[in-house]
Structure 1
Amino acid sequence: MSQESVKNALGGLIEVIKSTPSASRVVFRASTKLEEDVRCIANVRDFPPLTIDEPPDLGGSDQGMNPVELVLVALGTCQEIMYSAYAAFMGIKLDECKVDVKGYLDLKGLLSIDPTVNAGYQQISFNTTLRSSANTEAIKQLIEVVEGHCPVMDILARAQKITGEVTHNGEPVHSLTIN
C-alpha cells in the first residue's frame, strides 16, 4: 500500500466515524490454547496460527516468541504503523522507520521468589530511527502526534480495566475484575 493508499483508507474511515460515531467502537479478538509444556497457539482472524513459546531456560522449546516479547513487538510495530499513517496525513515522506524496544523484567516476580517484585516489566524503553527529507520541526510534530495516539503505548502507559472468568469442566469457578 502506498502512502496515498494509507491516507485514503484512513481518511475514508474518519469520514465514516464522523457520520456514524458508533462505528468508532470496535472489538479485537484473539483465541489462544496451551498445546504442550509452555508452548501455545494463538489464532487471530483468518491468519495462520502463531506459535508462542518460551526459551529453554524458562521451560520451553524456543519454537516462537514468548508473551512478553510479543508485548515489545506490539509496541514497536504499533508505533511504526502510527508513524506511517500520520506521516501520510501530514505529507511527510518517511524513508525509514524502525523501532528497537527493550523490556526489563526481574524473574524473581515471575517465579514467585520475591513477593515485592512485579511479575511483568519494570521498564520498557525504545529507540526510534526515522529517516526523512522533512525538516526537524515537521518530524517533531509527527513524533508528538504518534506518541500521543499510539494505542499500544496508551495501553501500556495507563491502567486498563480487565475482566475474566475461569471455568472448570464447563462450570464457572472464578471471576476477576481489575480496575
Structure 2
Amino acid sequence: MANNQITAVTELDRSHYKTKVYAGGHFIYSDEPEEVGGTDEGMTPGALLLASLGSCTAITIRMYADRKGINLDSIKIDLAICKEEEMSKETTITRKIELKGDFSDDVHQRLMQIADKCPIHRLLSNPIKIETS
C-alpha cells in the first residue's frame, strides 16, 4: 500500500469473534458480546466506528482550541447508532458534544462548527466505496 494511506490489519483465528486489530504499531481487540458467542473482550465493530468518530471529533476540536488559545478544559462526546443488524444507507449517528471551559457563546458555536470538520465525520458523511480483493 502507498505510504500516504491509513492502514489496519485484522486477524481472526478459531477464537470465534475475538479479532486482533493492528494499526500504526498499536494493537487492540474487537469482539462480540457473550450472548452472541463472543468473549466480550473488546469493543464491537459498531462501537469502534463510534470511537473513531468521537476521538477524531475531540482531537479536531482540541487542535483548533489550542491553536487559537481558547481556554477549553474538557471535551465529552456521547455517540449512538442503531444495532448493527439494523444499519442501512439511512442510518443516523447521534453525537452530543459537551465542551467545558471559559469562553463565549460565539466561541462555543465556532467549536461546534469545527467538530464537523474532523476527517472521520467528513468521510462518514459521504458515499464510501469499498473495494474487496
TM more than 0.5? yes
Q: Distance in 2 between matches of 1:122 and 1:75?
A: 15
The TM-score with structure 1 as length reference comes to 0.67
Q: Secondary structure of 1:62's partner?
A: coil
Q: Are 1:152 and 2:120 an aligned pair?
A: yes
Of the three residues 12, 17, 40, the one matched with 1:62 is 40
Aligned residues: 130
Cα distance change, pair 157–85 in 1 and its aligned pair in 2 (3 A): same
Of the three residues 77, 90, 93, the one matched with 2:55 is 77
- Residue pairs, 1:5-154, within 5 angstroms: 26-35=4-13, 36-47=15-26, 49-105=27-83, 107=85, 109=86, 118=88, 122-147=91-116, 149-154=117-122
Deviation of 1:106 (Å)? 5.9
Q: Report if aligned partners of 1:43, 1:50 keep a CA contact under 8 Å in 2.
A: yes
Q: Secondary structure of 2:131's partner?
A: strand
Structure 2's unaligned 5+ residue stretches are none
Q: Secondary structure of 2:92's partner?
A: strand
Larger radius of gyration: 1
Name the structure where helix makes up a greater proportion of residues. 1
Q: Distance in 2 between matches of 1:133 and 1:106?
A: 39
Amino acid across the alignment from 1:129: E
Structure 1's unaligned 5+ residue stretches are 1-24, 110-116, 166-179
Identity of aligned residues (%): 26
Name the structure where strand makes up a greater proportion of residues. 1
Higher relative contact order (CA 8 A, sep 6+): 2
1:88-121 per-position Cα deviation (integer Å, ceiling 9, x unaligned): 12221211111011111263x5xxxxxxx73x88
Q: Report if aligned partners of 2:46, 2:84 keep a CA contact under 8 Å in 1.
A: no
Q: Distance in 1 between matches of 2:33 and 2:10?
A: 19
